Amino acid sequence: MEKLLVEPFFVMKVLERAKELEKEGKEVIHLEIGEPDLPVPERVKERAKEFLSKFEQKYTESTGIYPLKEAIAHYYEKTYGVKVEPERVVITPGSSPGLLALLKVVRERVGEISYPDPGYPCYKNVLKFLNLKGRGVPIYPEEEFKVKAERVETHALIVNSPSNPTGIIYSKEELKALSEKAFLISDEIYHGLVYDERAPSALEVSNNCAVVNGFSKFFLMTGWRLGWMVVPKELLPDITAILQNTVISPPTLSQYAALACFEEEVLEELSSNAEIFRKRRDVLLKGLKELGFKIPAEPKGAFYIYADASRFTDDSFKFAFEVLEKTAVAITPGRDFGENQTEKFVRFSFCTSVEKIEEALERLRGFLA
């Protein structure tokens, strides 16, 4: 059993080794994992405790509770100025199981799906898990790592904006061009974490598209396992039946607690976090450039910097593990994100404090000198 049925995340291998080093007493700085380090707003936790005291956590509807669908629909109106019927909102136990159902339905109902290479590894892996053919579309540093409509040859396309691993943002015009070329699946999980410009939603340019989002990035609720999608009505019966069979329903407590996310003050608190991430980005970006990394696309959102390490290595996979061993700074090798020039790149996340980022840069300086 040498080759696995789907590829694991290489970042997990890095994390595993990092944990071993920590057991040996090393103080590892984690720039590998894409998990925000800030605490969930108190109101969300209070709401969870209230629910625990008053109610039993029963199964909910497979696509989630209606009040949360309404709150999300309202959020779209307020944030993007688009009207979304609550019925089109599908609540999922994290965005991953939603993506699984969605990719299946779009592949079977619409056609082959393209995904960016480099890009979030799940797109390719989930299609492989489903025994469905997908197609990587190479994206290039010279083109800001953006999928160009003219290169899309499939009926459907998934893009991620702000993007993992590059942090680039598609403009409204770009999303429109893509949505006119193919059925667009827009992974908007990093929305709200933007530093220079707003990130438009695909829903602003098309109603015949599907949006994936969730509570794990901007809303900080990683371990609560809650996501959502907005899908065309025609896809709802398939998606609902698949979710019944594959997850039954999303976690009940998380759904009720998440209602608090949309209270005015909570949204303000969450929005103010973008400033924290912006500062971290600025420090890390400046530092990496000084060290000699090339950053062909500077991140406008999300919490990653995709850095060209070819000045130091022609094998970024080996390089990432060397850096870990020598400096106890954990970073993600490009290989996690595809095949297109990924041996040149490594991803730095900035989900840790400015102090730790500065310390990591200092350690890297010693190693690369």
Q: Which residues bind its own copies (CB under 8 A)?
A: 1, 4-9, 12, 35, 39-40, 45, 48-49, 52-53, 56-60, 62, 93-94, 96-97, 100, 104-105, 108-109, 121-122, 125-126, 129-132, 221-225, 234, 237-238, 240-242, 244-254
Residue number with CB closer to its own copies (210 or 285): 210
* HSE-CB of 20 using CA atoms within 13 angstroms: 8
Contact 134, 338 (CB under 8 A): no
Least CB distance to its own copies at residue 294 (A)? 30
Cα 312 from Cα 292, distance rounded (Å): 9
Least CB distance to its own copies at residue 276 (A)? 16
Cα 94 from Cα 228, distance rounded (Å): 7
Residue number with CB closer to its own copies (310 or 353): 353
Residue number with CB closer to its own copies (127 or 209): 127
Least CB distance to its own copies at residue 227 (A)? 10
Least CB distance to its own copies at residue 6 (A)? 5
Residue number with CB closer to its own copies (222 or 310): 222
- In 3D, which of 219, 159, 214 has the Cα closest to residue 189? 214
E strand or H helix that includes residue 108 = helix 95-109
Contact 230, 45 (CB under 8 A): no
Residue number with CB closer to its own copies (179 or 216): 216
Which pair of structure tokens corresponds to residue 85?
Answer: 């019927």
Which pair of structure tokens corresponds to residue 263?
Answer: 């209270």
Which pair of structure tokens corresponds to residue 138?
Answer: 């190479």
Contact 194, 274 (CB under 8 A): yes
- In 3D, which of 205, 207, 217 has the Cα closest to residue 167? 217
Within 10 A of 258 (CB to CB), how many other CB atoms are there?
Answer: 27
Residue number with CB closer to its own copies (146 or 347): 347
Least CB distance to its own copies at residue 221 (A)? 7
Least CB distance to its own copies at residue 187 (A)? 14
Cα 284 from Cα 282, distance rounded (Å): 6
Cα 214 from Cα 39, distance rounded (Å): 17
245 burial (CB, 10 Å; 0-12 / 13-18 / 19+) is: exposed
Least CB distance to its own copies at residue 255 (A)? 9
Least CB distance to its own copies at residue 61 (A)? 9
Residue number with CB closer to its own copies (100 or 361): 100
Residue number with CB closer to its own copies (164 or 254): 254
